[in-house]
Amino acid sequence: MRDIRLFGDPVLRSVASPVVDFDKQLRTLVQDLTDTMLEAPGSGLAAPQVGVALRVFTYNVDGVVGHLINPELTLTDETQIGDEGCLSIPGLTFDCTRALGVVAKGFTMYGDPVVIEGTETLARCIQHETDHLDGVLFVDRLDPDTRKAAMKAIREADWNGLSAPLVKESPHPMFGRGF
């Protein structure tokens, strides 16, 4: 279990480095990301969200738990609009437009090439997590009015300025929407 970094932490705005060594340390990172994501609970978690600037994320969508390293995405032209949240911006969700489908090429923690194809929630998750690896947050993807509302809500959030959320509800109301 690792602490999830919150909006305002500079690591969330850094561009993560590609993984070069597919070693035991990487497998520990993937395990820790998975455990932390499931405990939150969340639908996805990227390494920068636990303070590690590497191109690694995990996902938990429709009962499938997995991970991807050094992702490269191809997006469909067709889009979807839906509620999106982020474990680094706890308790807040906003309508966010994303590509409907994605083909994500990358590697497993053992260094084997892998391709993940997804639509709807899985596609949204993969786009959200890959954004994290580039220092991009979902609030950056909102239309201008929604983004203004989101920034106001973040400023007023009780966790703003804290290093980690003090209170966790169970069951967590964000389940299925927090990435």
- The footprint of Ni ion (CB under 5 A) covers 86, 179
- What is the torsional sign of CA 111, 117, 122, 125? positive
23 or 91, CB closer to Ni ion?
91
CB of 32: closest distance to Ni ion in angstroms? 16
Task: Tell me which residue has tokens 């839906």.
Answer: 82
Query: What minimum distance in Å lies between the beta carbon of 24 and Ni ion?
Result: 26
Please identify, using beta-carbon distances, which residue of 87 and 109 lies nearer to Ni ion: 87
How far, in Å, CA of 85 to CA of 171, rounded? 16
Identify which of residues 22 and 165 has a Cβ nearer to Ni ion in the complex.
Answer: 165
- CB-based closest residue to Ni ion: 86
CB of 84 to Ni ion, least distance (A): 9
CA 73 from centroid of its chain's CA atoms: 15
CA distance 96 to 171: 24
* 39 among known catalytic residues: no
The catalytic position among 84, 117, 129, 169 is 129
Which DSSP letter does residue 58 get?
Answer: E
Catalytic residues: 129
